């Protein structure tokens, strides 16, 4: 790869500097071009105005002088004497003036840049005769008379043109002076005023030189200043990069320095610190999860191995002993299988895996099926199951949600099994349904010992046992409520432990769905895998 291109890809400083220099170069280029066009246009307009007004002034002065001479009765001794006298009296600066007839025969001239004209009679100022017309001036006069005679017919018009004379460019203004009414036989005159363009050329050259030097110097200064500014501005980013690269899984408690939390780099550092905090918490949770999972799996594996070792250690055992050993192994295998299934389900939850086809579900049907599944377990413990409907609320059969039926059945089973295992004998476990305009509330209440206040904040974490008294059967792995909460989250809802005295009260809140509604109006599909347990099999609970 090209080293320059590689540097551009790797360095933000260089890219920022070059972008800044490119923008500045474009702006300076536009400014220089606009200034150059403005200056050349202004100089051209100023020169045209000067020759135009000077030609009019000279023509007007000649007409006035001729009228005065006719009034005094003076007669010219030398042809063009009156015009030459006018040119001597007028102050026209460095302009050159030529007065000739329409045949380009010179009558008077004023040329500050040329040698003084010779005279026919040395020492006689009145009989002074000018030099002949330069070839360039004569050619321009003839061309103007031939091609622009219509414009010259109007004495108020001044025809503009350009010539090169004595190696210098000139701007010319030509006007026509008609004969006086007192002497109609006198030929018409052409008055040409010339303004040299040499001063303008020198000025433009100086300006061009200045621009050619100033623009590159400005770009160089911009590149140096831009790089220094970019380097200083991005210095905190280098520190963030270095510090972030040095953080490993073993020291996720480190944090990046935040110099200014209000600018972009400061906000980036704050975000990275928050990310490090979340990653650190995730690592701690993962380590704890692995440790708890290992602990939970170790017990049934140790029991299975111990029973097998004891059985194999003896040479002979009767059938009842073998059956008892196999029964223990079978029970622990079932327990181990359920723990593995729950762990697999939670792993799929973390991976955000999609589930099978969701559909509209009637809440009343779900609750009836769940109560039927745990009825035998409730009867064996002397517990009454009761389903209630909030007065003035919708009929549960009319309240519907959108989701996976197997997962929702498992959510209710987990909550009911959790309540049955902690409810005292001869008590009641109540399931209550309430529907609002957009949400569905399912409450599961028991009369057990409740959840200790110290465990309420961690109740839905994995491998957390919320209550320990009055347990029957197998101890749970502490995954039931975590799975139920994950299912609720996947369906756009949640489970919360309500403040309640005399037992535990869990409230499930889910988005409500109208039967037959368009798919676009329903909540997004949950993303959990279906349960591998049968619908009538209670799960290990918290």
Nearest alpha-carbon partner for 442 in 481, 513, 390, 404:
390
Question: How confident is the model at residue 444, as a pLDDT?
Answer: 93
Q: pLDDT category, 320, cuts 50, 70, 90?
A: confident
Model pLDDT for residues 353-397, shown as the tens digit of each residue: 555 667 888 888 899 999 998 888 888 889 999 988 766 556 666
How far apart (Å, rounded) are the C-alpha atoms in residues 25 and 31?
10
CB 142 within 8 Å of CB 161: no
Structure tokens at 422: 């902690």
CA count, 13 A, side-chain hemisphere, 211? 18
Q: What domains does the chain contain, in order, with CATH numbers?
A: 3-119+126-204 (3.30.450.20), 264-348 (1.10.287.130), 354-521 (3.30.565.10)
CB 129 within 8 Å of CB 117: yes
Structure tokens at 144: 């103007």
Segment 180-200 shows an average pLDDT of 82
What is the DSSP track for 258-326?
-S-TTSHHHHHHHHHHHHHHHHHHHHHHHHHHHHHHHHHHHHHHHHHHHHHHHHHHSS---HHHHHHHH
Question: How confident is the model at residue 469, as a pLDDT?
Answer: 42
pLDDT at 439 over 80: yes
Structure tokens at 358: 């969701």
pLDDT at 291 over 80: no
How far apart (Å, rounded) are the C-alpha atoms in residues 222 and 22?
10
CB 508 within 8 Å of CB 453: no
Model pLDDT for residues 490-500, shown as the tens digit of each residue: 888 999 998 87
More confident residue, 159 or 153: 159
More confident residue, 263 or 484: 484
Q: pLDDT category, 532, cuts 50, 70, 90?
A: very low
pLDDT at 416 over 50: yes
pLDDT at 24 over 80: yes
pLDDT at 338 over 90: no
Segment 256-283 shows an average pLDDT of 81
Q: Is the pTM higher than 0.85?
A: no
% of the chain residues with pLDDT over 90:
17
Q: Looking at 13-17, 33-37, 95-99, 507-511, which range is the least confident one?
A: 13-17
Model pLDDT for residues 42-65, shown as the tens digit of each residue: 999 999 999 999 999 888 888 888
Model pLDDT for residues 107-155, shown as the tens digit of each residue: 888 887 665 544 444 434 433 444 567 888 888 888 888 888 888 888 7
């Amino acid at each position: 790869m090209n080293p320059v291109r590689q540097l551009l890809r790797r360095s933000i400083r260089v890219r920022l500097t070059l972008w800044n220099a490119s923008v500045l170069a474009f702006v300076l280029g536009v400014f220089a071009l606009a200034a150059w066009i403005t200056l050349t246009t202004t100089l051209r307009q100023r020169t045209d105005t000067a020759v135009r007004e000077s030609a009019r002034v000279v023509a007007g002065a000649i007409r006035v002088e001729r009228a005065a001479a006719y009034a005094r009765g003076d007669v010219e001794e030398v042809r063009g004497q009156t015009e030459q006298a006018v040119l001597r009296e007028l102050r026209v600066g460095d302009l050159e003036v030529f007065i000739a007839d329409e045949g380009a025969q010179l009558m008077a001239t004023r040329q500050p840049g040329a040698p003084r004209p010779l005279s026919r009679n040395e020492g006689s100022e009145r009989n002074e005769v000018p030099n002949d017309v330069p070839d360039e001036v004569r050619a321009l006069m003839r061309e103007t008379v031939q091609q622009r005679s219509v414009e010259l017919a109007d004495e108020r018009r001044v025809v503009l043109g350009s010539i090169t004379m004595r190696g210098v460019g000139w701007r010319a203004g030509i006007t026509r002076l008609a004969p006086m009414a007192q002497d109609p036989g006198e030929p018409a005159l052409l008055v040409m005023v010339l303004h040299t363009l040499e001063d303008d050329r020198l000025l433009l050259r100086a300006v061009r030189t200045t621009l050619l030097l100033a623009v590159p110097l400005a770009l160089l200064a911009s590149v140096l200043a831009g790089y220094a500014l970019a380097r200083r501005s991005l210095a905190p980013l280098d520190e963030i990069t270095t510090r972030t690269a040095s953080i490993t899984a073993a020291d996720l408690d480190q944090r990046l320095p935040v110099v200014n939390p209000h600018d972009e780099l400061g906000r980036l550092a704050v975000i990275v610190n928050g990310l490090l905090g979340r990653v650190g918490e995730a690592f701690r949770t993962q380590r704890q999860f692995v440790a708890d999972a290992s602990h939970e799996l170790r017990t049934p594996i140790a029991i299975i191995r111990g029973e097998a070792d004891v059985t194999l250690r003896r040479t002979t055992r009767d059938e009842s002993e073998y059956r008892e050993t196999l029964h223990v192994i079978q029970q622990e295998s079932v327990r181990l299988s359920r723990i593995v299934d729950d762990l697999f389900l939670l792993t799929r939850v973390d991976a955000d895996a999609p589930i099978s086809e969701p559909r509209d579900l009637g809440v009343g049907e779900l609750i009836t099926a769940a109560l039927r599944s745990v009825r035998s377990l409730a009867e064996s413990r002397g517990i009454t199951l009761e389903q209630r409907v909030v007065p003035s609320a919708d009929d549960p059969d009319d309240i519907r949600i959108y989701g996976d039926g197997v997962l929702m059945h498992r959510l209710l089973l987990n909550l009911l099994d959790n309540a049955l295992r902690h409810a005292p004998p001869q008590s009641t476990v109540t399931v209550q349904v309430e529907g609002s305009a957009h949400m569905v509330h399912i409450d599961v209440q028991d009369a057990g010992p409740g959840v200790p206040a110290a465990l309420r904040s961690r109740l839905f974490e994995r491998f957390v046992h919320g209550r320990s008294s009055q347990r029957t059967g197998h101890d749970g792995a502490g995954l039931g409520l975590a799975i139920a909460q994950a299912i609720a989250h996947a369906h756009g809802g949640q489970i919360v432990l309500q403040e309640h005295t005399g037992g535990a009260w869990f409230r499930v809140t889910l988005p409500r769905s109208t039967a037959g509604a368009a798919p676009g109006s329903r909540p997004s599909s949950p993303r959990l895998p279906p349960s591998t347990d049968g619908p009538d099999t209670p799960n290990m609970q918290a």
